[in-house]
Every structure is written in structure tokens, then in C-alpha cells.
């Protein structure tokens, strides 16, 4: 197919609109077919990705037309998105068969969400990025609200305010860029921005960074995440935790790649790292204190996001070798968390669906009734704790190596301690679900295999990736 990059954006827009018109039953099949094709396209793009490759849509080059840029990093994120989205679509079809509330909205909104993600990863222009960011935020808010419950609506409203605030701050930054340089194309700007950096550009970057941190839910901006991710229908939680927050983090990476060395003082890098460290500790402790399974998983996302921001203190003012290790570790963490968290939310959704509740202390008997889901939870947990063999372990290994290489032992202690805290909350669930006896008088409704296998396969993927991850590093390239 010519122009696979453009199709990655057009295809989900197409099936989303068709799903809206045809209704959820046929929409689900369209989505699955569209996402399967999307995975093939993403794999094709990943196989041909190289730095500096730019695709001019319709033959119109950059300042006039829309340029799509595919480097390894973008290809990696596309691949992650579609690897996670396809099994989740199959899962969601079975899930909404049992919980019809909001099924009509799920497929069109998911299509727009995937289109926004693909477009975001492929854009190389600050304003186009803003458009994708806005579309992504609105689709995500719609998904959180789609169940229609009062709780879901209040979480969605809060999420909406956060996402609008975040994108407004970002847009203000873009406007300042345009005002100073008359141009918003990233590769051009990277050439134009030179010391001394105008105050307006410093302000612009600060605004954009804060907006993105808000949307990535870096502590202390994480207040909105647990109710939104923990309250949404399970497939939505999985999409949001695995992919949506990674997209805004990806934008932070893009800014840092283009302007970081020139602009970000070491203090900012340290601050981001400290916030990340605080997120790891606070999120894990909160996760440990939750009584409900989905809230525990949501707080675990808060903690896992923290690791992503260790890139900045580890890579700032470090040797190229250290910076490379930190870069690789963080991208491995993004991929590992994407797979594992999608698996975990999927498993939790199936368990809650069968048991009729997700109170952790009452999960006894899950091992006998939903063994695959419990395995999915456990294996994903192995990756979150960073135990081998798993992608999460490789991420921890690379980050630890970066810390050891530069002698920054405080970060090493955080990495190791965070893993132990993750073990504490994962085993809190397993102790009840795996060993605990079933409460008398409770029952588990039978659950379709499609609610069991996709999470299991995602969890297994995060483990198998831990044995063969060379291609992730190859795509990740260097900062």
C-alpha cells in the first residue's frame, strides 16, 4: 500500500465513522479488522523507519503541506499502540456484550483515539501536534464518560478540565514559538533556536512542558488519573493507562530531543527526576492502600509513569554512553508498562465482570474460576516489579546501568525500592486471589474466552519481550 503513514491515520478515522453509523455490533468487527490492518501497517513502517525520514502527504512539502516524520521512536510508539489496541478491541467486544452501557460510543471514540495517537506519533509540527493532542484528549474524555454512570461523569468532567487546561498551555507555547520564529515545524525550529534563547521561548517551553506533565499525570499532577482510569470501563482503562499517557510523554521526549540540550537547565532535569521519584513512592504506597483492584492498578500507573521521568536526571550532563542507557531504559519502560498495564486492566475487568465486584479482600476463588486472568495479572505484575524475565526487568536493568555508570546511586536505590513496593501491591492481590478461599454464598459468572485470552497474551508478550528485545533498542535509537 502506498503511503502507509497516511493510512495509519485515515484508516481508524474511517472505521470510527463507519462504526458510528452502523452501530456497535458491526462496528466491533470493523474496528477489529481495521486494527489488524493497522498492526500490519505499523509493522511495515517500523521495518522501514529511519531517522530523518519525512513523508509529505499528497506531495506537498512542509511549510505548505503536512509533513509526516517517521523515525525509529515514532515507529516504536506506533507498533506499541497497535500491538496493544488489537487484542484490546477483541477483548472490548466481549466486554461490551456483558456491559452494554456505552458500547455505542466505545467504537467510534476508540477509532478517533487511535487516529489521534497515530497522527501524534507521526507529526513533526508543533501545531499539528496540538491538533492531535486535542483530539486525543477529547476522545479519551468521551471514553471515560461513555459508561454514563454518575461516578464516571464526574471523573470525566475533571479529566476534561485537566486535558483542556493542558492543551491550552501547550497551545500558548506554540503561539509564542510562532510569534518569535514565524514557523512551527520541529526540524526547522531546531535549527533556528540558538543561544541566547529569547525569554518568550523559555516561557513557551515552560508552558508546553507543564501542560504535558499535567496530561501525563506526573506527580503531583496525578490527582485526576486514579478516578478516571479506575472508574472507566475496563477496555477504556487499559487504553488510557497503556497508551494515552505515553503519547503526552512522547511529546515531552520530542521537545527534549529538539530543544533540551540548549534550553533545559540541569535544575529542570533534577526537578523532573525528583517528581518522578516522588511519583514512584507515592503512587506505590497509595496502590498498596487501595481496597479496590482497579484503583490499585490505576495508582500503579501513577507510580510507573514516575520511572519515565528518571530519563532527565540520568541523561542530563552525563556521558553519551550513560545518556544512551537511560534513553533505552525509559523507552523499554514505556513499552513494558504499555503491555503489562493493558494486560492488568484487562484481567481486572474480567475478574470484576465475573465476580460482580473488584474488592481485593473478597477475591478468593478467582484462581479456580479465572486462572488465565489471574495468570495475566501475575505475569504483568512480574514485569511491573521488574523481575526477570520481562521487559520491565530489562528497563530496570538499563536504568540501573545508567545510574551505576554515572555513579548516581540515589536513583539506583529508587529503582530498586520502587520494584519492591510494586511487589508489595502485586502480591497483596495475589495473596487474596491466588490462595484465599472463596467466600461462601458468592459465585463467579462464566466468562467468555475473549475476556481471558487477550489479557493473558498481552502479559505473555511483556514476558517474552524480556528475552528478546534487541529490536526495541534498535528502534529507540539514540536521544
Partner 1 sequence: MNASQSLPLLVVASSFVPGLLIFGLAEERHALRSALNIAGAVIKLVIIAVMFGGVAAREHYEYRHTVLPGLDLVLRADALAMLFVTLSAALWLLTTVYAIGYLEGGANRSRFFGFFSLCVTATVGIAMAGNLFTFFLFYEMLTLSTYPLVVHRGTDKALRAGTFYLGYTLAGGAILLVGVVWLYDLLGQVEFVHRGAASSLGPQYTTQLRVIFLLLIIGLGVKAALVPLHGWLPRAMVAPAPVSALLHAVAVVKAGAFGIVRVVYDVFGVEFAQSLRLLVPLAVAACVTILWGSLRALAQDDLKRRLAFSTVSQVSYIVLGVALFGPVGTIGGLAHLVHQGIMKVTMFFCAGNYAETLGVHRVSEMNGIGRRMPLTTAAFSVAAFGMIGLPFTAGYVSKHYLSDGAQLAGQPWAAWVLMASSLLNAAYFLPILYRAWAKVHHPPWPAPAIAARGWRETSVLLLLPPLASGVAVILAAVLADTAWSPLAWAKLIAMREYAAPLR
How many DSSP H helices and E strands does the chain contain?
Answer: 22, 2
In sequence order, what are the residues at sequence separation of 6 or more whose Cβ sits closer than 8 angstroms to the Cβ of residue 196?
none
- Point out which span in 15-23, 73-81, 148-156, 392-400 binds partner 1 (CB under 8 A): 392-400
Distance CA 177, CA 159 (A): 27
Distance CA 304, CA 296 (A): 12
Asked if 187 touches partner 1 (CB under 8 A), the answer is no
Q: Which helix (H) or strand (E) holds 414?
A: helix 409-430
At 316, give phi and psi (nearest 5°). -70, 135
- Point out which span in 45-53, 253-261, 336-344, 417-425 binds partner 1 (CB under 8 A): 417-425
Smallest distance from the beta carbon of 193 to partner 1, in angstroms? Answer: 33
Smallest distance from the beta carbon of 395 to partner 1, in angstroms? Answer: 11
Q: Taking CB under 8 A as the rule, which mask of x and - marks residues 341-370 in contact with partner 1?
A: --------------------------x---
Q: Which helix (H) or strand (E) holds 55?
A: strand 54-56
- Point out which span in 71-79, 126-134, 341-349, 427-435 binds partner 1 (CB under 8 A): 427-435
Asked if 443 touches partner 1 (CB under 8 A), the answer is no
For partner 1, the closer of residues 29 and 427 by Cβ is 427
What Rg value do the Cα atoms of the chain yield, rounded? 21
In sequence order, what are the residues at sequence separation of 6 or more whose Cβ sits closer than 8 angstroms to the Cβ of residue 179?
200
Asked if 441 touches partner 1 (CB under 8 A), the answer is no
Question: What is the DSSP code (8-state) at residue 123?
Answer: B
For partner 1, the closer of residues 14 and 388 by Cβ is 388
Asked if 404 touches partner 1 (CB under 8 A), the answer is yes
Q: Which of 401, 451, 454, 461 binds partner 1 (CB under 8 A)?
A: 401
Which residue's C-alpha cell is 503541506?
A: 65
- Point out which span in 41-49, 112-120, 122-130, 398-406 binds partner 1 (CB under 8 A): 398-406
Q: Could you tell me how far CA 446 lies from the centroid of its own chain?
A: 30
Asked if 423 touches partner 1 (CB under 8 A), the answer is yes
Distance CA 189, CA 181 (A): 8
Asked if 382 touches partner 1 (CB under 8 A), the answer is yes
Smallest distance from the beta carbon of 339 to partner 1, in angstroms? Answer: 16
Specify whether the CB–CB gap between 398 and 287 falls below 8 A: no
Specify whether the CB–CB gap between 78 and 5 falls below 8 A: no
Q: Which of 12, 137, 419, 455 binds partner 1 (CB under 8 A)?
A: 419
In sequence order, what are the residues at sequence separation of 6 or more whose Cβ sits closer than 8 angstroms to the Cβ of residue 268?
312
Q: Which of 427, 450, 460, 464 binds partner 1 (CB under 8 A)?
A: 427
Q: Which residues bind partner 1 (CB under 8 A)?
A: 367, 371, 382, 385, 387-389, 394, 396-398, 400-401, 404-405, 412, 416-417, 419-420, 423, 427, 431, 434-437, 466-470, 473
Amino acid at each position: 500500500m502506498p503511503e502507509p503513514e497516511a493510512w495509519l491515520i485515515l484508516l481508524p478515522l474511517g472505521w470510527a465513522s463507519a462504526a458510528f453509523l452502523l452501530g456497535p455490533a458491526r462496528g466491533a468487527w470493523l474496528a477489529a479488522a481495521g486494527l489488524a490492518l493497522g498492526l500490519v501497517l505499523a509493522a511495515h513502517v517500523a521495518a522501514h523507519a529511519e531517522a530523518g525520514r519525512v513523508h509529505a502527504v499528497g506531495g506537498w512539502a512542509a511549510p505548505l503541506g503536512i509533513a509526516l516524520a517517521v523515525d525509529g521512536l515514532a515507529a516504536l510508539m506506533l507498533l506499541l499502540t497497535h500491538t496493544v489496541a488489537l487484542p484490546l478491541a477483541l477483548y472490548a467486544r466481549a466486554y461490551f456484550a456483558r456491559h452494554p452501557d456505552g458500547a455505542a460510543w466505545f467504537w467510534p471514540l476508540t477509532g478517533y483515539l487511535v487516529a489521534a495517537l497515530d497522527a501524534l506519533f507521526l507529526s513533526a509540527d508543533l501545531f499539528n501536534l496540538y491538533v492531535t493532542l486535542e483530539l486525543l484528549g477529547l476522545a479519551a474524555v468521551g471514553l471515560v464518560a461513555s459508561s454514563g454512570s454518575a461516578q464516571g461523569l464526574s471523573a470525566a468532567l475533571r479529566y476534561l478540565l485537566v486535558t483542556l487546561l493542558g492543551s491550552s498551555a501547550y497551545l500558548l507555547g506554540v503561539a509564542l514559538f510562532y510569534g518569535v520564529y514565524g514557523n512551527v515545524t520541529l526540524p526547522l525550529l531546531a535549527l533556528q533556536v540558538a543561544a541566547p534563547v529569547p525569554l518568550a521561548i523559555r516561557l513557551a517551553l515552560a508552558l508546553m512542558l507543564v501542560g504535558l506533565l499535567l496530561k501525563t499525570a506526573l506527580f503531583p499532577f496525578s490527582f485526576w488519573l486514579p478516578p478516571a482510569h479506575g472508574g472507566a470501563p475496563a477496555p477504556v482503562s487499559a487504553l488510557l493507562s497503556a497508551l494515552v499517557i505515553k503519547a503526552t510523554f512522547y511529546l515531552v521526549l520530542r521537545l527534549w530531543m529538539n530543544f533540551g540540550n540548549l534550553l533545559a537547565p540541569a535544575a529542570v532535569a533534577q526537578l523532573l527526576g525528583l517528581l518522578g521519584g516522588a511519583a514512584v513512592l507515592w503512587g506505590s504506597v497509595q496502590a498498596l492502600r487501595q481496597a479496590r483492584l482497579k484503583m490499585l492498578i490505576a495508582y500503579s500507573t501513577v507510580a510507573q509513569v514516575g520511572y519515565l521521568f528518571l530519563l532527565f536526571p540520568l541523561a542530563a550532563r552525563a556521558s553519551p554512553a550513560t545518556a544512551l542507557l537511560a534513553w533505552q531504559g525509559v523507552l523499554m519502560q514505556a513499552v513494558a508498562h504499555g503491555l503489562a498495564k493493558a494486560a492488568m486492566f484487562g484481567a481486572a475487568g474480567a475478574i470484576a465482570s465475573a465476580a460482580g465486584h473488584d474488592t481485593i479482600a473478597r477475591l478468593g476463588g478467582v484462581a479456580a474460576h479465572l486462572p488465565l486472568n489471574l495468570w495475566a495479572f501475575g505475569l504483568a505484575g512480574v514485569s511491573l516489579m521488574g523481575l526477570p524475565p520481562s521487559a520491565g526487568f530489562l528497563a530496570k536493568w538499563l536504568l540501573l546501568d545508567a545510574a551505576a555508570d554515572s555513579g548516581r546511586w540515589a536513583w539506583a536505590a529508587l529503582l530498586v525500592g520502587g520494584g519492591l513496593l510494586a511487589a508489595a501491591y502485586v502480591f497483596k492481590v495475589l495473596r487474596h486471589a491466588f490462595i484465599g478461599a472463596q467466600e461462601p454464598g458468592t459465585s463467579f459468572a462464566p466468562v467468555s474466552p475473549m475476556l481471558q485470552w487477550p489479557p493473558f497474551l498481552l502479559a505473555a508478550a511483556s514476558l517474552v519481550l524480556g528475552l528478546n528485545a534487541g529490536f526495541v533498542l534498535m528502534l529507540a535509537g539514540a536521544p
